[in-house]
Amino acid sequence: MPLAHFDGALAVVTGAGSGIGRAIALALAESGASVIAADIDLPAAERTVTRAKTVGAGGAAYQVDVADAGAMEAFAAEVKDAHRVPDIVVNNAGIALAGPFLDTELDDWHRIVDVNLWGVIHGCRLFGRQMRDRVAALPNKPDKPNLGGHIVNISSASAFAPWRAMPAYCTTKAAVLMLSESLRAELAGHRIGVTAVCPGFVSTDLVKNGSFVEGDTAAPGKLRQRGQQAIQLRNYPPEKVAERVVHAIVKNKPVVPVNFEGHLLHALSRVSPATLRLLARIPTPQG
């Protein structure tokens, strides 16, 4: 069952200090939700809440590293104790890592898996359990069934397609997509929706703040520059992703590709995976 409206809802958004996370937090606030903005950068999260108060009910800011299991457990408990069980959880926090697989060190793998995958696992496990227990504790009325809530996991168009330039990033985002699909099946009986949102290139600082592995393709500085140029040329604002997130919650969508490349890669993954395998072999341009 979808959440038909957001008036009075409590929404938790990780990575809410900037980019897609901030846009989602503001869109939910504008729709009537009170927002818990979580970010590793507390001042950034506080700025999001300040802006949320100008468009809606506002909320509260928390500093948390989604990769830290203990910190996430404390955060989930604090949200429940200081506020209540959230109705909406958006696991958005993520980082980028580019470079050849054989040149990616274990420390690089640990960091991106800890943030992009374990961060989502922590959010789903902790808040999903709270939502499930809330439904179980309330009497269910046939004419007005309890809505358990909704979890949104921000994956990527990279989840649909292999890419030699970003094997670690693609791997984590594909895992988030499969986790979301599996969790959706498990929580459906508790009337909790789960959605994987898969954007393509979006105008955020993901590439600017990302890490680049030394390899045999191009210098990290050039890779970063090309990535930022591609994002600037695409010029797809995070607010449009936020609109799709709100719509996905209302309609209880399972998987939501966003923008042209998201839809294209999703379609190719279903009708012509061999094409994607060929495209994945294209090397990063030199010079």
Catalytic residues: 169
In Å, the largest CA–CA distance within the chain is 65
Cβ within 8 Å of residue 28, ≥6 positions away: 6, 9, 11, 13, 35, 56, 88, 90, 246
User: CA-to-CA distance for 75 and 213, rounded, in angstroms?
Assistant: 32
* DSSP per residue, 152-182: EEE--GGGSS--TT-HHHHHHHHHHHHHHHH
* DSSP per residue, 93-131: ----EES-GGG--HHHHHHHIIIIIIHHHHHHHHHHHHH
Q: Which of 39, 164, 151, 159 is nearest to 94 (CA)?
A: 39
User: CA-to-CA distance for 78 and 145, rounded, in angstroms?
Assistant: 27
Cβ within 8 Å of residue 182, ≥6 positions away: none
Q: Residue 30 corresponds to which tokens in the numbers above?
A: 């504008």
User: CA-to-CA distance for 73 and 237, rounded, in angstroms?
Assistant: 32
Helix, strand, coil percentages, rounded to 5, for the chain = 55, 15, 30
Amino acid at 133: D
Q: Which of 59, 20, 64 is nearest to 40 (CA)?
A: 64
Q: Angle between the 259-271 and 273-280 helix axes, to the nearest 10 degrees?
A: 120
Q: Residue 114 corresponds to which tokens in the numbers above?
A: 């800890």
